[in-house]
């Protein structure tokens, strides 16, 4: 599972994706305060 973690002022939002391609496209729409990671 691919996970995007978005760090905002006082919030942390997490989005889960099943494939890297989809997650990479979604990552481009977030601010610079976002991290893409992979977990099993």
Q: What is the pLDDT, as a whole number, of residue 16? A: 97
Q: What is the pLDDT, as a whole number, of residue 14? A: 96
- For residues 36 and 12, give the distance between their C-alpha atoms in angstroms, rounded to a whole number: 13
Q: What is the pLDDT, as a whole number, of residue 40? A: 87
Q: What is the pLDDT, as a whole number, of residue 25? A: 95
Instruction: Tell me the whole-structure pTM to 2 decimals.
Output: 0.84
Q: What are the pLDDT digits (tens) for 8-37?
A: 889 999 999 999 999 999 999 987 899 999
Picking from 39, 8, 13, the residue whose alpha carbon sits closest to that of residue 26 is 13
């Amino acid at each position: 599972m691919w996970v995007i973690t978005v760090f905002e002022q006082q919030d942390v939002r997490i989005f889960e994706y099943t494939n890297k391609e989809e997650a990479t496209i979604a990552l481009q729409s977030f601010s610079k305060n976002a991290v893409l990671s992979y977990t099993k």
